[in-house]
């Protein structure tokens, strides 16, 4: 009896024994490579077989938001690589690098279900051998919104993403609107440095109550988790007011800030309405805009945004 029919029989019998369990795991998990050479070899084989390559860079601890990016990449390319690298250089000294969740086994099943073909999960030493000094800066875009609150963050992001692009050499890279400034900066980097990859930005995936999915949501206490959807409600309300004809950007910004500050246990970092393309301050609603916020609930920093219109 072949593996597939043994598996079918075990599933039908409803009593997966030790062997069939092992088979199920084998079938379900996306393969993981940890070295640059292995990653390049796997991608080269896929390209040689005529596949186009999609890429979803992440820090792991994957959720449905990441799965949507993987499905989206898989719909357009034949072979999809997901990196799950908790990149030390994009964390500030007082941020959560050490406690950031690392969940490789569940990441593997989520990736398999979403159609990923390979996970690249390097160690920091693999990505940053001794005496690595080159960095990528995208000035202007890294100075606003998240920039002042997270000095050095975007330098870390751009440097690691360019390195990952050079390792994977994808045709298409998919990012989430949830981290809109990051996506915008990567698009600028790709354009300015002539990186041969198409950057796609996909919509934010939310919990049923509106909270943007995030690996950091698991840090929230039950009370904070109950309060957190008010962030999206505040953004949605501002969007409605703008669509309803309110044209005073400053007034909308203050209303947004007040709504966010009123969330129990919340501390506002920033609430801005900006040009959706340049991320600069927006004098009036004469072009696509973004309402973008960062809020602390306890020590957990959550970001979210909505497009207007
Ligand atoms: P990270 O969660 O920092 O590992 O982000 C990896 C990629 O997933 C980035 O492009 C994020 O913008 C994207 N992402 C994270 N959360 C969501 C979400 N809720 N919806 C859509 N994309 C997301």
Q: Is the CB of 83 under 6 A from ligand 1?
A: no
User: Residue 20 pLDDT > 90, yes or no?
Assistant: no
Tokens in use for 283?
């004098």
User: Residue 293 pLDDT > 70, yes or no?
Assistant: yes
Cα 219 to ligand 1 centre (Å): 16
Which residues does 80 contact at the CB level (< 8 Å), separation at least 6?
53, 54, 55, 56, 70, 73, 74, 115, 116, 117, 118
The 10 Å Cβ neighbour count of residue 171 is 19
Unique residue bearing structure tokens 């509106």: 210
User: Residue 9 pLDDT > 70, yes or no?
Assistant: no
Q: Are 65 and 213 in contact (CB under 8 A)?
A: yes
User: Residue 4 pLDDT > 50, yes or no?
Assistant: no
Tokens in use for 61?
């601890």
Average pLDDT, integer, range 291-299: 98
pLDDT of residue 21: 52
User: Residue 16 pLDDT > 70, yes or no?
Assistant: no
Which residue, judged by its Cα, is nearest atom 17 of ligand 1? 65
Cα 9 to ligand 1 centre (Å): 38
pLDDT of residue 28: 81
User: Residue 13 pLDDT > 70, yes or no?
Assistant: no
What is d(CA 97, CA 150) in angstroms, rounded to the nearest whole number?
13
Q: Is the CB of 107 under 6 A from ligand 1?
A: no
Q: Are 99 and 139 in contact (CB under 8 A)?
A: no
Cα 302 to ligand 1 centre (Å): 12
Question: What size, in residues, is the chain?
Answer: 309
Residue 195 burial class via C-beta count within 10 angstroms: exposed 0-12, middle 13-18, buried 19 and up: middle
Cα 116 to ligand 1 centre (Å): 16
Which residues, listed in sequence order, are joined to residue 119 by a DSSP beta bridge? 32, 82
Q: What pTM was computed for the model?
A: 0.91
pLDDT of residue 27: 54
Average pLDDT, integer, range 105-118: 98
Q: Is the CB of 66 under 6 A from ligand 1?
A: yes
Q: Is the CB of 212 under 6 A from ligand 1?
A: yes
Q: What is the pLDDT of residues 29-74, one digit of tens each?
A: 999 999 999 999 999 999 999 999 999 999 999 999 999 999 999 9
To the query of whether residue 153 is one of the catalytic residues in this protein, the response is no
Which residues does 110 contact at the CB level (< 8 Å), separation at least 6?
62, 63, 66, 67
pLDDT of residue 22: 53
Atom of ligand 1 nearest to the CA of 178: 12
User: Residue 3 pLDDT > 80, yes or no?
Assistant: no
Which residues, listed in sequence order, are joined to residue 300 by a DSSP beta bridge? 297
The 10 Å Cβ neighbour count of residue 19 is 12
Q: Is the CB of 171 under 6 A from ligand 1?
A: no
Q: Is the CB of 215 under 6 A from ligand 1?
A: yes
CA torsion 125→130→131→135, rounded to 10°? 10
Local confidence band at 19 (pLDDT 50, 70, 90 cut-offs): very low
Which residues does 49 contact at the CB level (< 8 Å), separation at least 6?
none
Q: Are 62 and 107 in contact (CB under 8 A)?
A: yes
Q: What is the pLDDT of residues 99-109, one digit of tens each?
A: 999 999 999 99
Which residue, judged by its Cα, is nearest atom 10 of ligand 1? 175
Local confidence band at 2 (pLDDT 50, 70, 90 cut-offs): very low
pLDDT of residue 216: 96
Q: Which residue has the higher pLDDT, 39 or 25?
A: 39
């Amino acid at each position: 009896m072949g593996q597939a029919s043994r598996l079918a029989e075990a599933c039908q019998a409803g009593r997966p024994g030790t062997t069939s369990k092992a088979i199920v795991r084998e079938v379900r998990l996306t393969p993981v490579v940890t070295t640059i050479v292995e990653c390049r070899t796997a991608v080269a084989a896929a390209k040689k077989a005529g596949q186009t390559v999609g890429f979803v860079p992440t820090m792991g601890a994957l959720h449905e938001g990441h799965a949507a990016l993987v499905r989206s990449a898989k719909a357009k390319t034949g072979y999809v690589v997901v990196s799950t690298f908790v990149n030390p250089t994009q964390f500030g000294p007082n941020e959560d690098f050490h406690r950031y969740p690392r969940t490789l086994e569940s990441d593997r099943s989520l990736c398999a279900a979403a159609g990923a073909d390979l996970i690249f999960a390097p160690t920091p030493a693999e990505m940053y051998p001794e005496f690595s000094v080159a960095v990528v800066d995208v000035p202007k875009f890294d100075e606003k919104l998240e920039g002042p609150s997270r000095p050095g963050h975007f330098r870390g992001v751009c440097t690691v993403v360019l390195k990952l692009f050079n390792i994977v050499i994808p045709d298409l890279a998919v990012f989430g609107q949830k981290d809109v400034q990051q996506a915008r900066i990567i698009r600028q980097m790709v354009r300015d440095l002539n990186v041969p990859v198409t950057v796609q930005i996909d919509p934010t995936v939310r919990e049923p109550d509106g909270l943007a999915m995030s690996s950091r949501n698991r840090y929230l206490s039950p009370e904070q988790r109950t309060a957190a959807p008010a962030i999206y409600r505040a953004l949605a309300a501002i969007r409605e007011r703008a669509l309803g004809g309110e044209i005073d950007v400053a007034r909308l910004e203050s209303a947004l800030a007040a709504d966010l500050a009123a969330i129990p246990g919340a501390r506002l970092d920033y609430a801005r309405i900006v040009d959706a393309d340049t991320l600069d301050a927006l004098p009036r609603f004469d072009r696509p805009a973004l309402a973008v916020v960062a809020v602390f609930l306890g020590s957990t920093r959550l970001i979210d945004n909505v497009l207007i219109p």
